[in-house]
């Protein structure tokens, strides 16, 4: 981390900590001012938004059209407000550097993994990157792990067990924040948990950041007595944290688990505080709308079909009502901690993880991931994954006892699918040594192997 980057993060952190004590009214006033400034800047410099919001520039945010990743990338050159930037040059830089170094000597490029079928490139100038780095620190202080002067003498030790690819944002954040204030052990998220037990035992981290499925795998190692660490905070993200995974992790280490929710486009968008009553949305940095399939806002306590996010601190590549295909639920009650931010109390996963099955009436029915979670989280397996094949539904399981009866999974799943009108395909239970992971180390709970052939 350069001295300039460090100074930005320190200033940002002080400002964000003060906002924790704001009233809801003051937060909304700040949000309105920042949104107005973002729109003025964008309309003056972005040809795309001049067209996209034509006739709507004085309308409320909720009247504006939704921006998808496909449309963003198709119009990249006209979206960005630095008119010297072109997608071709960005792609050439990315292919040559794999995300290392700054584009045009100024911009950090993060790339999405393309898990939704569309890769995205996201640019941050030094000020924007400094704020994004600060969002990654926010979960730690909301968890009560605030850096203090004593840590200059006894630094907090961090372990990060996640994506090994240099262009992934978590890897870029690690590279940007490396300092003696936070010495860090980097572990390859594509390696199985058994292979990282020894380095973790030697390092003894105070703070462990990883994916939810990897945290559960480490919990099994801890419960078996092979892993022997006592982290003060375990922060998970990048995957859905199931109820059973939370139970196993808390059984291994107690109430040190903190869930986070974020994206390459936004940084950390929401995180738990020490009350564990949901994930606070960073509404001082974003405007978050949880909407149904028709784009209408849903009530607190109900799941939405997607999230629309407006990122208030990003001016180089403005994102206004940008679609994240996640199904989340805003908590019906405020967190007792007193922070002014709304919280989300459940994340079901991406819309792309909804599976579709034929019905007896020649139609098709959508089955949400939560249906599979309700059955499979009760199975005594260390991990699970559902894979929809053209002619079958494969249930991948790790850590099952030899005498486990497959009917204990097949029959409940058949009943759940039938109760929702689905004509269940053949359900095959497969015992595997490890759940398949992508290049970044993530393991989705639900996969469609050949979506075009289903239903």
H helices within 308-428, ranges in order? 369-376, 407-419
Residue-level pLDDT at 221: 95
Confidence (pLDDT) at 178:
64
User: pLDDT per residue over 246-274, tens digit each?
Assistant: 999 999 999 999 999 999 899 999 999 99
In this predicted structure, what is the pLDDT of residue 154? Answer: 57
What is the number of other CB atoms lying within 10 angstroms of the CB of residue 232?
A: 15
d(CA 148, CA 156): 10
Cα–Cα distance for residue pair 455/75, rounded to 1 Å: 33
- Give residue 180's pLDDT: 57
At residue 280, the 3 state secondary structure works out as strand
- Kindly give the parts of the chain with pLDDT less than 70: 1, 113-118, 147-154, 166-167, 178-182, 350-352, 439, 450-455
Rounded Cα distance between 121 and 109, Å, is: 7
> pLDDT value at position 455?
37
Domains along the chain? 3-350 (3.40.50.12780), 354-453 (3.30.300)
């Amino acid at each position: 981390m350069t001295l300039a980057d460090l100074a930005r993060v320190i200033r940002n952190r002080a400002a964000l900590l003060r906002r924790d004590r704001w009233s809801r009214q003051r937060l909304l006033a700040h949000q309105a001012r920042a949104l107005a400034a973002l729109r003025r800047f964008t309309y003056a410099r972005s040809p795309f938004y001049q067209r996209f919001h034509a006739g709507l520039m004085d309308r409320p945010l909720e009247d504006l059209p939704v921006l998808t990743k496909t449309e963003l990338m198709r119009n990249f050159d006209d979206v960005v407000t630095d008119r010297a930037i072109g997608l071709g040059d960005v792609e050439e830089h990315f292919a040559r550097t794999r995300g290392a170094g700054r584009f045009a000597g100024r911009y950090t490029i993060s790339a999405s993994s393309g898990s939704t079928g569309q890769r995205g490139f996201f640019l941050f100038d030094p000020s924007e990157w400094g704020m994004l780095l600060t969002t990654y620190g926010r979960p730690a202080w909301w968890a009560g792990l605030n850096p203090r002067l004593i840590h200059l003498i006894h630094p907090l030790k961090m372990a990060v067990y996640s994506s090994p690819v240099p262009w992934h944002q978590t890897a870029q954040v690690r590279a940007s924040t490396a300092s003696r204030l936070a010495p860090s052990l980097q572990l390859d998220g594509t390696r199985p948990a058994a292979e990282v037990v020894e380095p973790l035992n030697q390092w003894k981290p105070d703070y462990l950041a990883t994916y939810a499925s990897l945290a559960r795998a480490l919990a099994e190692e801890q419960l078996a007595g092979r892993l022997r660490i006592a982290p003060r905070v375990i922060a998970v993200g990048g995957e859905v944290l199931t109820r059973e995974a939370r139970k196993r992790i808390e059984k291994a280490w107690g109430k040190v688990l903190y869930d986070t929710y974020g994206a390459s486009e936004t940084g950390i968008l929401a995180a738990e505080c020490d009350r564990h009553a949901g994930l606070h949305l960073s509404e001082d940095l974003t405007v978050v709308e949880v909407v149904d399939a028709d784009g209408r806002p849903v009530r607190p306590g109900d799941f939405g079909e997607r999230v629309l996010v407006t990122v208030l601190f990003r001016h180089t590549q403005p994102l206004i009502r940008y679609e994240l295909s996640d199904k989340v639920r805003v908590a019906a009650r405020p967190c007792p901690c007193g922070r002014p931010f709304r919280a989300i109390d459940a994340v079901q996963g991406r819309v792309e993880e909804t599976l579709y099955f034929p019905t007896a009436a020649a139609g098709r029915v959508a089955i949400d991931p939560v249906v599979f979670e309700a059955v499979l989280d009760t199975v005594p397996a260390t991990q699970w994954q559902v894979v929809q094949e053209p002619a079958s539904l494969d249930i991948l399981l790790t850590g099952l006892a030899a005498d486990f009866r497959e009917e204990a999974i097949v029959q409940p799943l058949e009943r759940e699918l039938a109760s929702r009108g689905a004509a269940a395909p053949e359900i095959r239970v497969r015992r595997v040594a490890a759940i398949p992971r992508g290049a970044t180390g993530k393991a989705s709970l639900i996969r469609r192997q050949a979506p075009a052939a289903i239903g």
